[in-house]
Structure formats: structure tokens, C-alpha cells
Amino acid sequence: MAEHDPSSGGENDPVQGALPLAGASELGGGREVPFPVALLAFSSVSGVGYRALHSLVGAYGNDLGRLLGVAPEVAVGHLRARKAPKALVEAVSGLPPGLVERAHEHLGQLGRKNVHVLGPGELPARLLRLPGGPRWLFVQGDPAALVQGPHVAVVGTRDASPAGIDAAAAVVRTMAAYPVTVVSGLANGIDAAAHARAVEFGLRNVAFLGHGINIVFPAETAQLRERMLEYGGAVATEYLPDERYRRQQFVQRNRLQAGLGELVIAVEGQASSGTAHTVRFAAQYGTPVVGLSWRGAGDLPRLVADTSGGRVLEIFTPAARRELDTMVRSLAERHGHATDALTLVQRQLTREAACRDLRQDDLLQLQEKIQQLLNERR
């Protein structure tokens, strides 16, 4: 498949709108070919590159399979009527025999890896709203992780400092009191640290990849990826299953993190880094951004501060942690979740009680401490 730039979108993009929206009924009858099968079938056809595939899905949506369910001359006539590019018409007119059958086999192989193919009708609403957003996703794990919020993106550099790793841990621990889903990119450094801490605290993860779903990159994240899936998370990508990684693709997957996240937390990086792209995408989409600062942090906080709606927190201070707690708790409550800021304390108390020789005096002292906290809050 041809190299592509999935960030392309908007009024000046020749892909978007290259084919007028098609009415499925105009193709008449024919066998039903499910969208995932049709997508895999067309993606394997010589001459159908990303732009053609993107345009086809834009025009036919979930009914893409109708083009494969009718006689070739009918499909060709339909495309010509919409002034489709000549190369695309020729590709469809010469579809090889057994194409759909092989696509069914391919889909079965993906299914055995717990990979789902989401069409336009199944994509999360927050991604559908994006200019130049995805028109399909390959999702390994539970697709519900992409729609059950709130989602908080935690992003940062691959070349993380020890302080940056600690900052990512502090962020995730603060969020862990609430039922949020951590969104990141499963790269080394800050991404991996955020995902790993989320698993430790029982939070769900969503990771967007800059390559195909069949590829594990970097190799060091293989075990972490498996644990994320075991804990009900998902790994998602708009790239075809075996597509290799390219630098630009990692930049473009950042728009999906910024788009799905209802809050973006930029942990560490430089104003010229890939993380900065995520910050700019978030600003474009109207997603609130938080940058973290500490002694020795890079210049990313300055970029966040200059971003509309951006907020910089000195993450290693109690005041900053409380402010972040307020933000995340508010998100959870807007999604209808009951919240309890001391969830982690209760979990730890239960674990301690199970392995301690508790006495009545211990519990009375705990009761006194709780009463003291109540008095301080009055």
C-alpha cells in the first residue's frame, strides 16, 4: 500500500470530497460484503493506495462492501458517474478473483489476535469530529475502551529523565482514584511509564500506534502491551495491519491522542518535540492542556502556557496535585461516575488489614485521625 499522511483533511484536502457521497441504494442489489472485509480487500488491490481507499470510505462509508457485492461493470459505472480517478476505476474493473475470500481469511487471522476493524459507524464520536480524522481503526482488545470515558492523554518524550518518569507516575497516581482511561502512544519513556503505572493502579489504557496492528514497536513494550489488553484496554491504529512505522506516522497518531483525550497532560519534552505536536493538536481541537514543570524541566511548559486554555502545574507540590485531582474528578463526574478521592487509601487499608495483627487501639487511632481530618475541613 502506498505511503500516506492520515493527517490530511479539511476543505483543501483533495482526498476529502474527491468522490461525492454515494447512496448505497444506487448500487442496487447484490451480496452483502461487511465493511471490514471490503476494507481489507480494497487495501490489497494494486493501484488502490491510501488516498483512493480514504476517498472510497469517505464516499461509501459502512456500505463500502456494496462495490464488491455487485457486478464489476455496475461498480465501475457507479464510480465513473462520480468522476472517480481513472486509476481507481481501472483497479476496480480488474479486481482479481478470490479477493473477497482472501479478505475473509485475513479478517479471521486478525480476529484470532482479538483485533477488530471499526468502520465509520463504529468510531468514537470524539474522533469522528476531527478534521482529517480516521475513517477506520484496527483495534486490538476491547473497543469499548475507546468510547467509555473519561479519557485523559498522558504524553511525553521517549528520552525521559528520572524526574519525568516520577512526574508521569505522580500524574497517574493522582488520577487512579477515579475511573478514567489513560491514553498514550506505547512508546518508550513517558508513554510506557504512564501505561505501566495505569496497569498497576487498575486503570484502563488506550494506546494509539504509529504503525500497523501486527507490529510490536518498540520491542521492549511487548509485555506491557499484553498486560494492558489483559486489563481491558485497547491498542488502536488507522494504519493497515502490516504497515511499518515511519516518523511522520508517529506525529500523525498524536492527533488521535489529542482528539480522544478530554484532557491532555504533557509530562516532559521540548517545544520542538513530537509531544509539542500533541499540544498543538489539542489546542486546535479545543482540548484542555496541562503542562508539568519542575527544576530542570524542558521548555515544553512554556509552549503549554502560551496555548489557549493551557495550564502549567508544578507537579511535585501538593497544591498542584490537588488542582489536577479537581480536574480529573470533575471529568469523571461529568461522565456520571460516582467519585471518591480516597479510593486508593481504602484499597491500601484493606490490604494492610489483611496482613496485620490489628488491635482495637489501631482502629481507634485511625478513627481519631479521620475525625481530625473532618474537623480540618469544616
Give the CATH number for residue 207. Answer: 3.40.50.450
| Same domain membership, residue 295 and residue 196 | yes
Instruction: Mark whether 52 and 136 lie in a shared domain.
Output: no
**Residue 175 sits in the same domain as residue 196:** yes
Q: Which of 112, 142, 164 is the C-terminal boundary of a domain?
A: 112
Within this chain, do residues 96 and 174 fall inside the same structural domain, yes or no?
no
Q: Dihedral (C-alpha) 218, 219, 220, 223: value to the nearest 10 degrees?
A: 120
pLDDT in tens, 110-144: 999 999 999 999 999 999 999 889 999 999 999 99
| Domain co-membership, 278 together with 358 | no
Please say which residue of 86, 112, 138 terminates a domain: 112
- Residue 277 included in any domain: yes
**Same structural domain for residues 173 and 267?**
yes
Taking the CA atoms of 174, 269, 265 and 248 in sequence, report the sign of the dihedral they define. negative
Number of domains into which the chain is organized: 3
Same-domain check for residues 289 and 308: yes
Task: Specify the pTM.
Answer: 0.89
Q: Which residues contact 363 (CB under 8 A, 6 or more apart)?
A: none
Same domain, 228 and 197: yes
131: Cα separation from own chain's centroid: 16
Of 81, 112, 143, which one is at a domain's C-terminal end? 112
Neighbours of 280 (CB within 10 A): 16
Each of the 378 residues of the chain gets a pLDDT tens digit; together they read: 444 444 443 332 333 345 665 555 566 555 779 999 999 999 998 888 878 888 889 888 999 998 888 888 888 888 888 888 888 888 888 888 899 999 999 999 999 999 999 999 999 999 999 988 999 999 999 999 999 999 999 999 999 999 999 999 999 999 999 999 999 999 999 999 999 999 999 999 999 999 999 999 899 999 999 999 999 999 999 999 998 877 777 788 999 999 999 999 999 999 888 899 999 999 999 999 999 999 888 899 999 999 888 999 999 999 999 999 999 999 999 999 999 999 999 999 999 999 999 999 999 999 999 999 999 887
Does a structural domain hold residue 119?
no
Q: Note whether residue 19 is domain-resident.
A: no
Question: Residue 13: inside a domain, yes or no?
Answer: no
The parent domain of residue 70 ranges over 24-112
Rounded to whole angstroms, what are the CA distances from 242 to 84, 138, 213, 231, 246? 27, 11, 7, 25, 13
What is the C-alpha separation between 72 and 89, in angstroms, rounded? 10
| Strand-pair category, 115-118 with 137-141 | antiparallel
Same domain, 151 and 259: yes
Half-sphere exposure of 138 (CA within 13 A, CB side): 25
- What strands lie across the sheet with 204-208, from one edge to the other? 115-118, 137-141, 234-237, 204-208, 181-184, 151-155, 263-266, 289-293, 310-314
In a domain, residue 10? The reply is: no
